[in-house]
């Protein structure tokens, strides 16, 4: 099979932990050719492990024969790095968030369009087989009219010297943009576009500059409502990453599907007909059906999809438009948190 040549910019964070071993190396239609990271020693060790070339600068990386560059650096570097890749004629898969805010995401899209290269964004949680199955059930009307959803993603992230997510000037914000971005993206996969938001952010426990707490209330074009709750100050073991989707014909409830792993449980409680009003209101009695499709590694699926879109010269489901949508909703959430107002997505 023809293989797309991948280079990695910022190779020693999530790239090293997940995207290189589980994605680029595992993908049938991709090969890793070069890696670059400020951490020279770790970059060289990584290159050796995976048979790639370790280079000493971004310019050197862009001078390789790579077809696509995967960018996995802090958010405040994304805009300039995407621009440099586009100028060098490389397709780009940029990690979320797509830059710091709307304006950067819009400029990145325009620059890549002008350069004739593809720009994708790394919202890999869309590829989880259970998320795809839930999206199909909703699309097929099995949930009835979507009514309410909840997506939760939290962790323990104590103050650390140099942690870029703890400084909004580097991360664009805290738990909301970092983890809430995935939750918002998933809710848009399930319920369609968000129309308006109301949001609270806070520093409940940690005193760094980024928020460690955020709850956003989303109102969708289709009339559904959802909440996204995301905290940097809840211990990992207690963060169960709940996903709840309710409609007029039932619910789809999951634990552990939102995250980086493949493990999680999802159960659907669906009815053909909710029936007449029953004054006894016997809630919680229905037998659910486990949703257990064949597991898919999200990083591999992401790399294979982006590579295939290049090989086949077609649009990608990882389109940067998804990244821009996410930025618009996130910006509205931050504005709401700042002003105390409901904010419409324009």
Where does this chain bind ligand NAD (CB under 6 A)? Answer: 9-10, 12-14, 18, 36-39, 58, 72-75, 77, 95-96, 122, 124, 178, 260
> Which has the closest alpha carbon to 180: 214, 209, 207, 220?
214
Task: Compute the least distance from the CB of residue 96 to ligand NAD, in Å.
Answer: 5
Task: Compute the least distance from the CB of residue 332 to ligand NAD, in Å.
Answer: 19
Task: Compute the least distance from the CB of residue 130 to ligand NAD, in Å.
Answer: 16
Phi, psi of 254, rounded to the nearest 5 degrees: -135, 155
Task: Compute the least distance from the CB of residue 153 to ligand NAD, in Å.
Answer: 11
Q: In the complex with ligand NAD, which residue's Cβ is closer, 13 or 286?
A: 13
> Which has the closest alpha carbon to 92: 100, 83, 105?
83
The DSSP call for residue 109 is H
Place of tokens 């990695």: 8
Q: In the complex with ligand NAD, which residue's Cβ is closer, 26 or 270?
A: 26
Q: In the complex with ligand NAD, which residue's Cβ is closer, 122 or 149?
A: 122
Q: In the complex with ligand NAD, which residue's Cβ is closer, 77 or 270?
A: 77
Task: Report the 10 Å Cβ neighbour count for 257.
Answer: 23
Task: Compute the least distance from the CB of residue 276 to ligand NAD, in Å.
Answer: 46
**Residue in the shown chain whose Cβ atom is closest to ligand NAD:** 13
Q: Are strands 146-152 and 225-231 parallel, antiparallel or unpaired?
A: parallel
User: Angle 95-96-97 (CA atoms, 0-180°, nearest 5)?
Assistant: 135
Q: In the complex with ligand NAD, which residue's Cβ is closer, 79 or 191?
A: 79
Question: Cα–Cα distance between 294 and 292 in angstroms, integer?
Answer: 7
Question: Which helix (DSSP H) or strand (DSSP E) does residue 31 occupy?
Answer: strand 30-36
């Amino acid at each position: 099979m023809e293989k797309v040549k991948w280079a990695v910019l910022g190779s020693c964070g999530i790239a090293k932990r997940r995207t290189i071993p589980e994605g680029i190396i595992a993908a049938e239609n991709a090969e890793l050719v070069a890696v670059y990271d400020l951490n020279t020693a770790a970059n060289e060790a990584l290159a050796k492990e995976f048979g790639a070339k370790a280079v000493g600068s971004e310019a050197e990386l862009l001078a390789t024969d790579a077809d696509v560059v995967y960018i996995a650096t802090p958010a405040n570097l994304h805009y300039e790095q995407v621009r440099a890749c586009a100028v060098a004629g490389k397709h780009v898969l940029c990690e979320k968030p797509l830059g710091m805010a709307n304006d950067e995401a819009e400029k990145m899209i325009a620059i890549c369009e002008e350069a004739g290269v593809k720009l994708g964004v790394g919202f890999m949680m869309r590829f989880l087989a259970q998320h795809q199955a839930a999206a199909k059930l909703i699309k097929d009307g099995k949930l009835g009219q979507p009514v309410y959803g909840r997506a939760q993603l939290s962790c323990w992230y104590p103050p650390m010297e140099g942690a870029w997510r703890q400084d909004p000037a580097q991360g664009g914000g805290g738990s909301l943009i970092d983890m809430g971005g995935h939750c918002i993206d998933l809710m848009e996969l399930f319920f369609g576009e968000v129309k308006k938001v109301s949001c609270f952010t806070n520093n409940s426990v940690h005193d760094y500059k980024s928020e460690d707490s955020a709850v956003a209330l989303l109102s969708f074009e289709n009339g559904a409502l959802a909440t996204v709750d995301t905290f940097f100050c809840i211990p990992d073991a207690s963060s169960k990453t709940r996903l709840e989707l309710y409609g007029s014909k039932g619910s789809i409830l999951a634990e552990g599907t939102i995250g980086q792993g493949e493990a999680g449980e999802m159960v659907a409680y669906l009815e053909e007909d909710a029936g007449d009003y029953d004054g006894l209101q016997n809630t919680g009695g229905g037998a659910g059906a486990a949703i257990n499709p064949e597991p898919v590694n999200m990083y591999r699926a992401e790399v294979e999809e982006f590579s295939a879109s290049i090989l086949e010269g077609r649009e990608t489901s990882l389109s940067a438009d998804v990244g821009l949508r996410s930025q618009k909703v996130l910006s509205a959430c931050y504005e709401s948190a700042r002003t105390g107002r409901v904010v419409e997505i324009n």
